[in-house]
Chain A
Amino acid sequence: MAQGVASSSAAPVLLWQERWGRAAAVFLRDPTLGLGLLGSLLFVVLFVVTPLVQVIAQAFFDPRSGDPSLEYFRRYFDPVYRGYQWQVVGNTLVMGTCTAAAGTALGLVFALTLSRCRVPGQRLLHYLCLLPTISPPFAVAIAAILLFGRSGLVTHQWLGIQFGPGVNDIYGLDGIIFVQTITFFPVAYLILRAMLERMDPAMEEAALNMGASRWQVLRTVTLPLLIPGIAGSVLLLFVESLADLGNPLLLGGNAVVLSSEIFLAVNGQYDQQRGAAFSLVLLLPSLVVFLLQRYWVSQRSYISVTGKPSAGQMTIAEPWIRWPLLLVTGLGSLLILALYGSILVGSITRLWGIDYTLDWQHYRVALSRGLNPILATTFLAAVATPLAVLMGLLTAYLVVRKAFWGKQALDFASNLGAAVPGTILGIGYILAFIQPPLPVVIGATAILAGYAAWSAAPRWGWQLLVLGSLLGGFLRWVGPSLSYELYVGGSGAILIAMGGLVGWQSRAWPGWTLAAVGIYLELGVIEPYLTGPIGVWGRALGGEPAKLLTSLQVMIGVIFQLPLTLVGFGLLGVLALALRPLPGSRLAGRLHLGLVAVALGLAFGLIFAGDPLALVGTPYIVIAAYAVRSLPTSVRAGMAALQQIDPSIEEASINLGADTQTTFRRVTLPLILPALLAGSIFAFARHMTSLSAIIFLTTPRWPILTAWILSEVEQGGMSTAAAYSVILIAIVFGAILLLMAGARRQVRQMGGALDLMIGGG
């Protein structure tokens, strides 16, 4: 009888350790999973946590002297400053509360009308509601100025109001609240509509059966069941309102709120400590609300919003309920139509307020002067989309399907990227990446390299790390005296050779993956020589084509000139996968170890080449900012999709002999493809309409369209701004049509959960 060694006892302390050790064993044994976890952790730590930490730290230090300073917090108590300071905070809270209340109320009315009443043109109204989500966040502000401003169509031309002192105009807190309500109510609408559609109709039917009138059912059954959704919407809208930058900048007038204050501190006064200090004040309510919403409200929902809509919902037929709902919905829709209509009309008329003849000049200006921002933004938004979707999917998979220490932290941190007001993140990026963030880079390298070394050669981990560090150090020392081409090209060539060797002696695919990294490096070296002629040709042609071709050249460069540090991280990941001991490998022991050491050395050489991750001014930081902002949406899309797949399907695949990677590739992925596509659409829309996070990151070489529009408005070019806005909306809309046309069947399959992803931030 086989008598094994007695297993650990069941005392609770050992239980925890054993569980953790067990989880660690799972990740070491399955490198795809381990790398996936490390990758998403790295992304989140690098691009969410580090910037936030920097902002928080900066608030307490004077950047000029480096001393700790509580100056800007002191001002809340200083008699000279505090009046103003508290007024700003007060304005912000009032704005947030009012927008949250009004937006949720409007969203509730729309949700009730469109899901419970028979209304003609339901689909149209639904899409009308979604218009604010695919337009720049300050589009409504522009429209409001066009219609209700000092020379507005409604206020000046029709009503003939003279704006002098004492006359209330669209500017100010009330104006901000008005446009924010219109801009953000779709979020509440989507959440509440989704809940209404997933409510079990039997509950309302039971109430009716017991004699309740329709109004009583609404009051005592439907609305109470919606309370978690209402509470959630209020909280969400509050955060969105606080984070909003564009509308307060355009319509604030004399009323200053925290987000505009932060912007002015950084861009106007060049005082980063001031900006950081205000960011902290803004961060507090946002975080509190975010936590409330996540951990308190969403736990109390009676309706599962990830399920499929239930059939047979009761419609409201009673006229005294129906008509008020229809009235408000109708008025709201007309308002939205009028606002967006004014943007459209404003872009195609010669001079708003004076001359309404049809004129395309604004588009001509937009497409010539503004071609660069249009192309640059679309390109960066598009490049960031697969990154965001993949990261989101990875995080969703880890959170939904796996159990490991730190899972909650990962889930929380990935949501933080969008919960935090964008201006804070923007400042954080500048603070974190203007100089190489060495501690983070070193830490990340150590962890990745450790994982790679132990995966590849479990018994020689330490020795390999030391060897690799020596080699990397040597490369780094020798590096500056070599030309870029030699350094990078040489590394690439060695990798290709290694790949060939591994492919020959071991299995094909590890060889290919190693060689692929090498090939990428070589392409990066060659690329400028290949695309150079494009630029030359463009300049020869002159005019419009020149710009297009130059942009093309630059874009290709972005793809192939990834910062070497990131390539180095990638190499470490590939190392863990490709140089793992594989069955059927004929690689001799020493040779294998040598290859690992060389690969480690090359990776270190790449990671620390130049200024590791000094990303400010590069397009990569914009891409990262985009991805971080849309990450929660992608994660939610991934989670919704994964939760609808019975986990036993994946277990069946494992039971039949597949590992995690094969199961994911052959079973999970085909089933969640619709959600990925939907997620891509929303990620792209979010990228294109981002403002607050990237406003500090825009540069003359990489101008961002939303910032461009803002400055256009500030210079008084309302019509041109309108033209830009229409172009932006058209691009997003076009992308949506493209993706939906290309994957119609799968999108329809997704059905209900689609809308949810856009809701909730």
Chain B
Amino acid sequence: MSYLVLEGIEKRFAARDGSSEVVAVQNVNLQIEQGELITLLGPSGCGKTTTLRIVAGFEFPTSGDVILAGRRINEQPPNQREMAMVFQSYALFPHLSVFENVAYGLRLRALPEIQVRKRVLAALELVGLEGLEQRSPQQLSGGQQQRVALARALVLEPKVLLMDEPLSNLDAKLREQMRTEIRRIQQTLGITTLYVTHDQAEAMTLADRIVIMNQGRIEQVDRPIQIYQRPASAFVADFIGRSNLLPARILGREGDRWQVQVLDQSLCLPTSALAKPFQPGETAQLLIRPEAVRLHPQGSLRGRVQRAVYLGPVVEYELALGPQSLTVVDTDPLRPQIYRPDAEVCFDFLPNCLYLLPT
């Protein structure tokens, strides 16, 4: 029995002029186990924040149910759900000190003062802000404010922790630091967490499972490695990491081996490299990650270098194969040479790094 379940969640908004409708979230089904950190990942406008707010109780789903620990909580108002939210803007109360901000929720529960003090200080220590209790939020840096917001949520020991792009207002270095922190704290406390972000690296670092959303629908729910290696659709393949998608055609099948035609070549792939059982003659897309292409001076597949960029740890190439183009990332520090634009190169694909997607 999953801890937090979203069943058939749908949310429609009336457009401003009242004539048409915007479907923000459609047919969202999710089962989250206790202690899991799930990220909702997707481009702007894909419905991830709306879904989060439905779970929090700030939006009512047009249809569908939110079920927590076996109980349907659709009718529960947001202040009775025992979920704590960390907002994108932190939403710290500017007229209260750090201590009072964190103590706010505890005070509402009429806990004795000694307990409040103990728990607040413990929470602040957990996020690494001991000693700053008496400051006001305006006197803190962005990262510190972020941590106060986190402490304020955690101090209540909520059943579910909700995070709405909490790191998007921080600079890159701080973001990296904070996400490891957040993951560490979440795992220490074992809190079920729903985390919204549009940053892939964040999702890959933090999540037990990633939910990729696009235009209100869920594209795929899986562990990070599965999302990357076995994306469910071209959208997912393109959204996470970089991808090359080459047109392909199924030629035939022999037991476990499939013949596929790509770039006028015939490749042989195992069933595990196919997203679904194809029919002979069907068209498909072959996914090759740029780092799975190896360049040679000789070989059967050829192309011409259009662009070569030396980035330091890797060299990036853009190859032209007739009308097609291929992005290649050379990760080998012992590479024999760096090809120049207009050079003719040969390449092949690393074994077991190919994946066939439907069109």
Residues of A within 8 A of B (CB): 1-2, 4, 7-10, 12, 15, 18, 22, 29-30, 646, 648-649, 651-659, 662, 666-667, 670-671
User: Beta-carbon contacts of B98-130 to A below 8 Å, as 1s and 0s?
Assistant: 000000110011000000000000000000000
- Closest A-chain residue to B14, C-beta based? A15
Smallest beta-carbon distance A5→chain B, Å:
9
- Closest A-chain residue to B104, C-beta based? A656
- Closest B-chain residue to A655, C-beta based? B85
- CB-CB < 8 A to B94: which residues of A? 649, 671
- CB-CB < 8 A to A4: which residues of B? 7, 65, 67, 72
User: Beta-carbon contacts of B51-74 to A below 8 Å, as 1s and 0s?
Assistant: 000001010111111010011101
- CB-CB < 8 A to B104: which residues of A? 653, 656, 658, 666
Is the contact region of chain A dominated by helix, strand, or loop, or is it mixed? Answer: helix
Does B83 lie within 8 Å of A655, measured CB to CB?
yes
Inter-chain CA distance A529–B104, complex, in Å, is 47
Known: A10-B62, A646-B91, A654-B78. 9 other contacts (CB 8 A): A2-B67, A2-B70, A8-B63, A18-B62, A653-B93, A654-B79, A656-B108, A657-B105, A666-B104
Q: A8-B63, A670-B95, A671-B95 are in contact. Are A655 and B108 (CB under 8 A)?
A: no
Q: A4-B65, A9-B63, A10-B62 are in contact. Are A657 and B79 (CB under 8 A)?
A: yes
Q: Which of B1, B8, B152 contacts A656 (CB 8 A)?
A: B152
- CB-CB < 8 A to B62: which residues of A? 10, 15, 18
Inter-chain CA distance A153–B79, complex, in Å, is 70
- Closest A-chain residue to B26, C-beta based? A10
**How many B residues touch A, CB cutoff 8 Å?**
42
Is the contact region of chain B dominated by helix, strand, or loop, or is it mixed? Answer: mixed
Q: Which of B21, B65, B95 contacts A12 (CB 8 A)?
A: B21
- CB-CB < 8 A to B61: which residues of A? 7
Inter-chain CA distance A707–B140, complex, in Å, is 56
Inter-chain CA distance A222–B72, complex, in Å, is 57
- Closest A-chain residue to B5, C-beta based? A2
Does A2 lie within 8 Å of B72, measured CB to CB?
yes
Residues of B within 8 A of A (CB): 1, 5, 7-8, 10, 12, 14, 21, 56, 58, 60-65, 67, 70-72, 74, 77-80, 83-85, 87-89, 91-95, 104-105, 108-109, 152, 156
Q: A2-B72, A15-B12, A656-B108 are in contact. Are A7 and B79 (CB under 8 A)?
A: no
> Which of A2, A10, A648, A656 has the largest count of B CB atoms less than 10 A from its CB?
A656
Does B56 lie within 8 Å of A658, measured CB to CB?
no
- CB-CB < 8 A to A659: which residues of B? 79
Does B72 lie within 8 Å of A655, measured CB to CB?
no
Smallest beta-carbon distance A16→chain B, Å:
9
Does B95 lie within 8 Å of A648, measured CB to CB?
no
- CB-CB < 8 A to B84: which residues of A? 655-656
Inter-chain CA distance A739–B62, complex, in Å, is 48
Inter-chain CA distance A745–B134, complex, in Å, is 21
Does A667 lie within 8 Å of B65, measured CB to CB?
no
Does A10 lie within 8 Å of B10, measured CB to CB?
yes
17 A-B residue contacts at CB 8 Å?
Answer: A2-B67, A4-B67, A7-B8, A9-B63, A10-B10, A10-B62, A12-B21, A648-B91, A649-B93, A652-B85, A652-B87, A652-B91, A655-B85, A656-B108, A657-B79, A658-B108, A659-B79
- CB-CB < 8 A to A666: which residues of B? 104
- Top 9 nearest A-B pairs (CB, nearest first) are A656-B105, A652-B91, A648-B91, A7-B63, A648-B87, A657-B108, A655-B85, A649-B91, A654-B79
Inter-chain CA distance A141–B58, complex, in Å, is 55
Inter-chain CA distance A18–B21, complex, in Å, is 15
Q: A655-B56, A655-B84 are in contact. Are A10 and B12 (CB under 8 A)?
A: yes
- CB-CB < 8 A to B108: which residues of A? 656-658, 662
- CB-CB < 8 A to B152: which residues of A? 652, 656
Smallest beta-carbon distance B61→chain A, Å:
8
Does A10 lie within 8 Å of B63, measured CB to CB?
yes
Inter-chain CA distance A662–B156, complex, in Å, is 18
Smallest beta-carbon distance A654→chain B, Å:
5
Q: A646-B91, A656-B104 are in contact. Are A22 and B60 (CB under 8 A)?
A: yes
- CB-CB < 8 A to B63: which residues of A? 7-10
Inter-chain CA distance A648–B90, complex, in Å, is 8
> Which of B1, B74, B105, B152 has the largest count of A CB atoms less than 10 A from its CB?
B105
- Closest B-chain residue to A22, C-beta based? B60
- CB-CB < 8 A to A22: which residues of B? 60
Q: A8-B63, A651-B85, A652-B87 are in contact. Are A658 and B95 (CB under 8 A)?
A: no
Does A651 lie within 8 Å of B67, measured CB to CB?
no
- Closest B-chain residue to A29, C-beta based? B77
Does A648 lie within 8 Å of B89, measured CB to CB?
yes
- CB-CB < 8 A to A651: which residues of B? 58, 78, 85, 87, 91
Inter-chain CA distance A374–B89, complex, in Å, is 51
- Closest B-chain residue to A662, C-beta based? B108
- Closest B-chain residue to A657, C-beta based? B108
Inter-chain CA distance A670–B10, complex, in Å, is 37
- CB-CB < 8 A to A658: which residues of B? 79, 104, 108
Inter-chain CA distance A10–B216, complex, in Å, is 15
- CB-CB < 8 A to B56: which residues of A? 655
Inter-chain CA distance A10–B63, complex, in Å, is 7
Smallest beta-carbon distance A758→chain B, Å:
26
- CB-CB < 8 A to B5: which residues of A? 2
Inter-chain CA distance A369–B70, complex, in Å, is 78
- CB-CB < 8 A to B89: which residues of A? 646, 648
- Closest A-chain residue to B94, C-beta based? A671
Smallest beta-carbon distance B143→chain A, Å:
18
- CB-CB < 8 A to B87: which residues of A? 648, 651-652
- Closest A-chain residue to B67, C-beta based? A2
- CB-CB < 8 A to B21: which residues of A? 12
- CB-CB < 8 A to A667: which residues of B? 93
Does B109 lie within 8 Å of A657, measured CB to CB?
yes
- CB-CB < 8 A to B64: which residues of A? 7
Smallest beta-carbon distance A657→chain B, Å:
5
Smallest beta-carbon distance A658→chain B, Å:
5
Does B79 lie within 8 Å of A655, measured CB to CB?
yes
- CB-CB < 8 A to A10: which residues of B? 10, 12, 62-63
- Closest A-chain residue to B23, C-beta based? A10
Inter-chain CA distance A646–B93, complex, in Å, is 10
Inter-chain CA distance A670–B100, complex, in Å, is 14
Smallest beta-carbon distance B229→chain A, Å:
30
- CB-CB < 8 A to B95: which residues of A? 670-671
Inter-chain CA distance A653–B104, complex, in Å, is 8
Inter-chain CA distance A670–B60, complex, in Å, is 29
Smallest beta-carbon distance B300→chain A, Å:
53
- Closest A-chain residue to B81, C-beta based? A655
Inter-chain CA distance A516–B74, complex, in Å, is 38
Does A7 lie within 8 Å of B91, measured CB to CB?
no
Does A655 lie within 8 Å of B78, measured CB to CB?
yes
Does B65 lie within 8 Å of A656, measured CB to CB?
no
Inter-chain CA distance A30–B5, complex, in Å, is 27
- CB-CB < 8 A to A655: which residues of B? 56, 78-79, 83-85
- CB-CB < 8 A to A657: which residues of B? 79-80, 105, 108-109, 156
Does A648 lie within 8 Å of B93, measured CB to CB?
no
- CB-CB < 8 A to B88: which residues of A? 648
- Closest B-chain residue to A652, C-beta based? B91
Inter-chain CA distance A646–B64, complex, in Å, is 29
- Closest A-chain residue to B2, C-beta based? A1
